Amino acid sequence: MRPGERKLPHLFKPGRLGRYAAPNLIKYGACCVSNYNTRDGFITPRELARTRVIAGTGCGIITNQGAYPDPKGEGKSYFRQVALYDDKFLPQFEIIARTIHDAGALAIQQILHAGRYGGIDLGYCVQPSVVPQTLPHFRPPREMSRQDIRRCIGEHVDAAKRAVRAGFDGVEVTSFMGYLLASFNSKFTNQRSDEYGGTVENRGRFMRELIDSIKQALPGHPLIVRLNGAELMDQWGGNTEDECFALMRQAAGCGVDMISVTVGWQEAPESSIGRDVPPGYWNRLAIRAKQECPQTLIAYGNRLPDPVMADECLGRGEFDYWEVCRPLLADPELVHKAAEDRLDEVRRCIGSLNCLSRVFRDLPYTCTMNPALGHEVEPEYALTPAAVKKRIMVIGAGPAGMEFATTAAKRGHDVTVYERGSRIGGNLLGYATHDLARPEDLHSVVRHYEVMAAKLGVKLQFNTEANPKFMRSVLHQYDVCVVAAGARVDREAFAHLEGGERIVDALDVAAGRVTAGKRVVVLGANKVGLVVAESLRKRGAEVTLVEPGKRIAEDVMPTFKWRHTSWLEELEIRVLTQTRLERVTAESAIVVDAKGAQTVIPADSVVAAGPRRSNQELFTQFEWMVDELHGCGDVLMPRGLDAAIHEGYRLGVRI
């Protein structure tokens, strides 16, 4: 037994699913779809390489991503979603099932008919009733007839049988995110007057017939159903939590082997798994599911990224399996690190939802914290020993510099990081301090680099300003210099304005080097400006945001823009778009809108969050002082954490 397994005895206890034994109580949850595959539903080498990583995560049950079951593609929600409506797809599913089994896990194939969110290639979608879309990018709906319903159930059964023929131990049907099964279950989208609509009992008829048909076709093979514990669709007249649990009881009564408890729809106006949701927030839904369906296995993992917390929940009997998805995207070694008592090394999922942002834009999913995700098939992304060990200096201990430093050190290079501040983190530290969502998630990024730098022998020199004089003092000590000095607010952009010298830097405010007054004007509604404005307002300041562009949050992750909009409304922060600063006085900021109208805003402090300028001067200054000169992160172009980590890694595996 590995040392961490003794500390987490419930997590690593053997389990069962139907007639099958599972080596532990950890279920790899299908993370929507990867979008790594072909437009006609075939699995690619990129997907198979990713499968090998998933199989190696150490989970006792592994769920393969959702395949759509119908030849028309009415169930297809993503351009590159895999298909399982024909035997021609079986050879690659056989490889996936075999890969999972070779790693010692149970293999489950998810069947995903998107319903309301499907028909991506067709120009229409199918659902129980013609309920208009609340999000304009989804397709107009068509109502399913009884014949359509029977055909759809038959297609699910055929897909399930194919999965088992391919070697999977069982199948999972999903209502996750508001897909077809959820559309029938919900009174929002199911407004039928026949036997499939009306009461909760009738709305659950499609689900019960689907479960019964698959179980009859595949006796002895486990069937899992993913069901909402909460839809979060009250605004649209969706199901109450009581109705959600009534539907769970129906599923349990039909003899499903496991219920996977999920939260939310794509259309839900509140977050279910984002960074603004504290870990453990939705646990009550799993607890209730276990109480109401005591004879059915309950899998749960919504916003529950911590193995220690999961082990405690299992110990209290709150659910039966810890279902993990995004934490294993961020760190595929999470389960092994837990078992080996190396949790301090884990790259935590920070809930930035880069994965969903990309999938919802019809792109292959990636992860902010895991630069190799989706690139496992490419040798260029692999960590291999360096052909020549080099002495490398890194300028800047922000995420880009530290990602490069730790990656290069893993390959055998001798790395020293020079940082003008007193600790690792760069501008992320100040940003995290003011974040209203969950500062702890962002601080975990810093802690990860602190731990790994110490374990890998990366040398750190703090309170050191890298400039030409400094470079001359270390000349010829290094083979490579990597500039990761980030970006700054361009104060020169305001130098021509009257009172421009009164403007302070948002990054200085975030870092605590400057204290803002009680009446604050923040220039720039980018993510830095938004976070600083929200934090100052939360602390009692009167805040006005001034943005020269038409929209706010242009550099914010697409799946998180709505959150900032909500906070601005909740905090009653005044926002002026298409407005620029004209001058600053001792008591005010004078701004002008696109029509030339002038507004005087009382202000003790004017804080500039933009424009941002990369600290690129070092490239010119160092050009003739070192053999190799490279850069990564915001020093190349101001962006964010995702680009910083990914570029640091890509450079680290290359040098």
Dump pLDDT digits (tens) for 9-51: 999 999 999 999 999 999 999 987 999 999 999 999 999 999 9
With a pLDDT cut of 70, the percent of the chain lying above it is 100
Q: Indicate the helix (H) or strand (E) that contains 170.
A: strand 170-174
What is the pLDDT at residue 357?
83
What CATH number does residue 95 fall under? 3.20.20.70
Range list of H helices, 478-634: 506-511, 527-538, 561-570, 617-622
SS3 322: strand
On whether both 494 and 482 belong to a single domain, the answer is no
CA 384, 385, 389, 394 dihedral sign is positive
On whether both 392 and 324 belong to a single domain, the answer is no
What is the pLDDT at residue 275?
85
d(CA 139, CA 137): 7
What is the pLDDT at residue 575?
97
On whether both 342 and 425 belong to a single domain, the answer is no
Check whether 176 has a pLDDT greater than 80: no
- Condensed to tens digits (0 to 9), the pLDDT of residues 214-261 reads 999 999 999 999 999 999 999 999 999 999 999 999 999 999 999 999
With a pLDDT cut of 90, the percent of the chain lying above it is 93
- Condensed to tens digits (0 to 9), the pLDDT of residues 126-150 reads 999 999 999 988 999 999 999 999 9
Mean pLDDT over residues 560-571, rounded? Answer: 94
The answer to whether the CB of 568 falls within 8 A of the CB of 534 is yes
On whether both 274 and 242 belong to a single domain, the answer is yes
Domain assignment of residue 367, yes or no: no
CA-to-CA dists, residue 426 to 381, 400, 423, angstroms: 25, 9, 8
Check whether 354 has a pLDDT greater than 90: no
Listing DSSP states for 197-225 in one string gives SSSHHHHTHHHHHHHHHHHHHSTTS-EEE
On whether both 401 and 528 belong to a single domain, the answer is no
What is the pLDDT at residue 517?
95
What is the pLDDT at residue 148?
98
On whether both 482 and 500 belong to a single domain, the answer is no
Domain assignment of residue 210, yes or no: yes
From 612, 630, 646, the end of a domain falls on 612
Domain assignment of residue 25, yes or no: yes
What is the pLDDT at residue 149?
98
> Taking each helix axis from N to C terminus, what angle separates 527-538 and 427-434, rounded to the nearest 10 degrees?
40
Tokens of 201: 């009992």
Domain assignment of residue 519, yes or no: yes
Q: CB-based burial of residue 475 (10 Å sphere; 0-12 exposed, 13-18 middle, 19+ buried)?
A: exposed
SS3 372: coil
Q: How many domains does the chain have?
A: 3
What integer best gives the mean pLDDT of the chain? Answer: 96
> Residue 542: CB partners within 8 Å, gap ≥ 6?
518, 519, 520
On whether both 627 and 593 belong to a single domain, the answer is no
Domain assignment of residue 110, yes or no: yes
What CATH number does residue 501 fall under? 3.50.50.60
Question: What is the pLDDT confidence band of residue 52, given thresholds at 50, 70 and 90?
Answer: very high
Domain of 536 in residue numbering reads as: 490-612
Peptide bond preceding 332: is omega within 30 degrees of 0, i.e. cis? no
Q: At 138, phi and psi to the nearest 5?
A: -85, 160
Q: At 465, phi and psi to the nearest 5?
A: -90, 120
**Amino acid identity for residue 223 in this structure:** L
**Amino acid identity for residue 413 in this structure:** H
What CATH number does residue 430 fall under? 3.40.50.720
On whether both 327 and 447 belong to a single domain, the answer is no
What is the strand order of the sheet 519-523 is part of? 504-505, 605-608, 519-523, 542-547, 574-577
- Condensed to tens digits (0 to 9), the pLDDT of residues 511-537 reads 999 999 999 999 999 999 999 999 999
Tokens of 1: 């037994």
d(CA 517, CA 504): 11
Cα end-to-end span (Å), the chain: 38
What is the pLDDT at residue 87?
98
* DSSP 8-class letter at 265: B
What is the strand order of the sheet 598-602 is part of? 579-584, 588-593, 598-602
Domain assignment of residue 375, yes or no: no
On whether both 539 and 632 belong to a single domain, the answer is no
> Residue 6: CB partners within 8 Å, gap ≥ 6?
none
d(CA 390, CA 609): 38
Check whether 85 has a pLDDT greater than 80: yes
On whether both 568 and 629 belong to a single domain, the answer is no
Mean pLDDT over residues 157-163, rounded? Answer: 98
pTM for the model: 0.95
What is the pLDDT at residue 1?
87
Closest CA to 35 of 355, 273, 323, 350: 355
Domain assignment of residue 364, yes or no: no
- Condensed to tens digits (0 to 9), the pLDDT of residues 397-426 reads 999 999 999 999 999 999 999 999 999 999
SS (H, E, C) 21-49: EECCCEEECCCCCCCCCCCCCCCCHHHHH
**Helix, strand, coil percentages in the chain from 3-state DSSP, rounded to 5:** 35, 20, 45
Bridging pattern class, strands 26-28 and 61-67: parallel
Mean pLDDT over residues 291-311, rounded? Answer: 97
Question: What is the pLDDT confidence band of residue 558, given thresholds at 50, 70 and 90?
Answer: confident
What is the pLDDT at residue 652?
98
Closest CA to 238 of 185, 301, 288: 185
On whether both 521 and 401 belong to a single domain, the answer is no
The answer to whether the CB of 508 falls within 8 A of the CB of 514 is yes
Range list of H helices, 480-589: 506-511, 527-538, 561-570
On whether both 602 and 642 belong to a single domain, the answer is no
Check whether 610 has a pLDDT greater than 80: yes
Looking up tokens 């204290």 gives 515
Mean pLDDT over residues 317-332, rounded? Answer: 96
Looking up tokens 């309920």 gives 131
Check whether 119 has a pLDDT greater than 80: yes
Question: What is the pLDDT confidence band of residue 183, given thresholds at 50, 70 and 90?
Answer: very high
Domain assignment of residue 365, yes or no: no
> Residue 651: CB partners within 8 Å, gap ≥ 6?
404, 407, 482, 630, 632
Q: At 223, phi and psi to the nearest 5?
A: -125, 125
Check whether 627 has a pLDDT greater than 80: yes
Closest CA to 256 of 294, 228, 215: 215
> Residue 355: CB partners within 8 Å, gap ≥ 6?
31, 32, 326, 329, 365, 366, 367
